[in-house]
Structure 1
Amino acid sequence: MSTRFVENQRVRIADRDAPGHVRTPVYVRGKEGRIERVLQCFLNPEREAYGVNGGTDVRLYRVRIEQSDLWPDYDGQAGDVLELEIYEHWLEPADHSHPEGA
């Protein structure tokens, strides 16, 4: 299965109201970060929780977000980041440029 995003690409986590079983924390929705790592595909847990998956695989990505981008009043170290794993259907390109180093 091909990947939609590549390492170091800037992405935005979708900002949508999604009731029910979702794996994307509210506090990261609408935030931008970079793909730190492309992971394998898994059954879609948001559909699997309700028994309606039908074997649909979804790519998982590790996304790195600067802490200061998450929390406007963050007073920790400038290089502090949060890394979390986000499923592909929650990600969108942050811009139309090529990833750094590509």
Structure 2
Amino acid sequence: MGPAMAERVRVKAMMPPGHVRTPSYLRGKTGVIERALGPFPNPEQLAYGLPAPEQPLYRVRFTMSEIWGDAAERPSDTLDAEIYAHWLERV
């Protein structure tokens, strides 16, 4: 079972080579699950014509202060990103 709605998660700070769907500026950052979107074939494998088992996809909400720190113009504004479960870890 994956993370639940409103649960805090961290995007793994991995830097694998190749086709990656997780923005680098979100890696290592902490957000909350806004909602589960369902399972989808892993696009990181589909890009290479490999078998792509379905992975749960989540919409994760981050504050600008989490992403940009003291440089955030509006620290409480938010950004939502859709991130696959294999990139997330519970906090």
TM-score by length of 2: 0.94
Higher percent of residues as strand: 2
The aligned residue for residue 82 of structure 1 is 79
What fraction of aligned residue pairs are identical, expressed as a percent?
47
The aligned residue for residue 97 of structure 1 is none
5+ unaligned residues in a row in structure 2: which ranges? none
Higher percent of residues as helix: 2
Q: Report the count of equivalent residues.
A: 90
TM-score by length of 1: 0.84
In the alignment, the residues of structure 2 paired with residue 17 and residue 24 of structure 1 have an alpha-carbon distance, to the nearest angstrom, of: 10
The aligned residue for residue 56 of structure 1 is 53
The aligned residue for residue 91 of structure 1 is 88
- Confirm or deny that 1:21 pairs with 2:19: yes
State the Cα deviation string for residues 20-71 of structure 1 (Å, max 9, x = none): 1110010000000000001111111000110112x41011000000001100
Q: Please state how far the C-alpha of 1:79 moved relative to its aligned partner.
A: 2.5
